[in-house]
């Protein structure tokens, strides 16, 4: 059978690749095509457009790139029609994917959402589009099932793929020696994000923090697909250690972290590294977003348990002083560290279920197979 997947960012590309691998086990003769990146390519998909060409973040940036987005929407629609897939699998990336889902609503194929968009945070009316245009939704956060039930959406919790990735992770015993770390007062992980706008907004403040802790080594997470000049100023700092797309080994060897809000906050928690979460965007994007956001927290760690486990610094609160103060608290206040770690344990207990990719692939294959059988009869 033929599967068309659409992922518009790095995490979606990663989870899409794992889903492809799982689908191959269910359907060895499967063919894969879509929008994605290097992970999906390596898993065996033919990628039409790399997600880095579509990386637009925030309402203002979307408006600036509206014609470019329309071109990709048209291309995607035509490519799906030409490929004639048995199933279309949307992975997060709500603004683009929901528009495509609407355009192809009459296409003779199963339509699935894997890793549903975070519409519970804002613009919740988009749930009606998922109800109308998607056959089944596979969610990775337990509370999403209750949310979607309010809109009569067929949603199933399949486990969390981040837990799967960490369970399969094989640590590199030579990580410290590879980075020439022999005698250090401790490593602080810096995860400034996987999008250009995030790095531009947050890395300069992280650099200032590193200067306030000269005895610490700061492990800077670097993304290959981003312009490398984004990291040039940071790498001039004497206590900055570049770590190229190896976040899990970095977190495994860190005692604290400064993390941009996103999937990385959950990964950091599952590695039991106390963290401070930061988020900053343009003033215009923030002003618009603040009017519509429906949740009390921004980090997945806090959202999952609906309680503050880790400190969140947002917009104007993202300063070198405020980050440094929280980092010092994390590093030196043992009861505070213990409270964060206990919160992580509670959060992990909520994320029951493993093998999200396998569970999803099995159900997708069964549903597509049943549909084809009905069609043949």
Please check whether residues 136 and 38 belong to one and the same domain.
Answer: yes
Please check whether residues 217 and 317 belong to one and the same domain.
Answer: yes
Please check whether residues 180 and 308 belong to one and the same domain.
Answer: yes
Please check whether residues 360 and 229 belong to one and the same domain.
Answer: no
Report the CATH number at residue 217. 3.40.50.2000
Taking Cα atoms as reference points, which of 26, 3, 25, 28 lies closest to residue 16? 3
Please check whether residues 271 and 359 belong to one and the same domain.
Answer: no
Please check whether residues 103 and 147 belong to one and the same domain.
Answer: yes
Could you give the CA distance from residue 129 to residue 119 in angstroms, rounded to a whole number? 11
> What is the per-residue pLDDT across 111-143, written as a single tens digit (0 to 9) for each?
999 998 888 877 788 899 999 999 999 999 999
> What is the per-residue pLDDT across 310-343, written as a single tens digit (0 to 9) for each?
999 999 999 999 999 999 999 999 999 999 999 9
Please check whether residues 146 and 238 belong to one and the same domain.
Answer: no
Q: Over 268-334, what HEC string results?
A: HHHCCCCEEEEECCCHHHHHHHHHHCCCCCCCHHHHHHCCCCCEEEEHHHCCHHHHHHHHHHHHHCH
- pTM for the complete prediction? 0.86
Please check whether residues 238 and 329 belong to one and the same domain.
Answer: yes
Residue 55: what pLDDT? 64
Structure tokens, 134: 């998607």
Taking Cα atoms as reference points, which of 68, 69, 38, 33 lies closest to residue 48? 33
Residues of the chain with pLDDT under 70: 55-65, 182-185, 282-295, 373-377
Please check whether residues 188 and 335 belong to one and the same domain.
Answer: yes
Residue 375: what pLDDT? 55
Q: Which residue has the tokens 């790139």?
A: 65
Tell me if 337 sits within 8 A of 330, measured CB to CB: yes
Residue 311: what pLDDT? 98
Give me the phi and psi of 181, to 5 degrees please: -95, 105
Please check whether residues 147 and 247 belong to one and the same domain.
Answer: no
Residue 47: what pLDDT? 98
Residue 164: what pLDDT? 86
* Dihedral over Cα of 64, 67, 71, 77: its sign: positive
Range of the domain at 223: 168-350
Tell me if 16 sits within 8 A of 36, measured CB to CB: yes
Please check whether residues 228 and 107 belong to one and the same domain.
Answer: no
**How many domains is the chain built from?**
2
Residue 295: what pLDDT? 63
Please check whether residues 209 and 101 belong to one and the same domain.
Answer: no
């Amino acid at each position: 059978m033929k599967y068309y997947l659409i992922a518009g960012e790095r995490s979606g590309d990663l989870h899409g690749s794992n889903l492809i691998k799982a689908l191959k086990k269910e359907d060895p003769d499967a063919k894969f095509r879509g929008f994605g990146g290097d992970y999906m390519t390596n898993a065996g998909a033919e990628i039409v457009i790399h997600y880095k060409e579509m990386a637009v973040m925030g309402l203002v940036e979307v408006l600036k790139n509206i014609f470019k987005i329309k071109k990709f929407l048209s291309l995607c629609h035509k490519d799906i029609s030409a490929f004639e897939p048995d199933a279309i699998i949307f992975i997060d990336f709500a603004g683009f994917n929901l528009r495509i889902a609407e355009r192809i609503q009459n296409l003779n194929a199963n339509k699935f959402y894997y890793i549903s968009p975070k519409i519970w945070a804002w613009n919740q009316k988009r749930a009606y589009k998922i109800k109308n245009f998607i056959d089944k939704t596979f969610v990775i956060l337990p509370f999403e099932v209750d949310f979607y039930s309010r809109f009569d959406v067929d949603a199933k919790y399949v486990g969390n793929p981040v837990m799967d990735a960490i369970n399969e992770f094989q640590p590199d015993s030579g990580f410290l020696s590879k980075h020439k770390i022999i005698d250090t007062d401790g490593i602080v992980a810096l995860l400034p994000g996987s999008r250009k706008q995030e790095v531009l907004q947050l890395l300069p403040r992280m650099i200032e923090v590193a200067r306030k802790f000269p005895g610490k080594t700061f492990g800077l997470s670097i993304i290959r697909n981003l312009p490398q000049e984004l990291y040039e100023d940071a790498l001039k700092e004497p206590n900055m250690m570049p770590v190229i797309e190896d976040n899990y080994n970095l977190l495994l060897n860190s005692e604290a972290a400064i993390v941009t809000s996103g999937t990385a906050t959950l990964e950091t928690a599952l590695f039991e590294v106390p963290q401070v979460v930061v988020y900053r965007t343009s003033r215009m994007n923030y002003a618009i977003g603040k009017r519509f956001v429906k949740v009390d927290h921004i980090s997945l760690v806090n959202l999952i348990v609906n309680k503050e486990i880790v400190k969140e610094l947002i917009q104007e609160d993202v300063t070198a002083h405020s980050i440094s103060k929280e980092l010092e608290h994390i590093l030196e206040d043992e009861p505070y560290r213990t409270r964060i770690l206990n919160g992580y344990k509670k959060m992990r207990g909520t994320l029951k279920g493993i093998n999200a990719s396998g569970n999803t692939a099995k159900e997708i294959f069964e549903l597509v197979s049943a549909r084809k059988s009905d069609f043949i009869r």
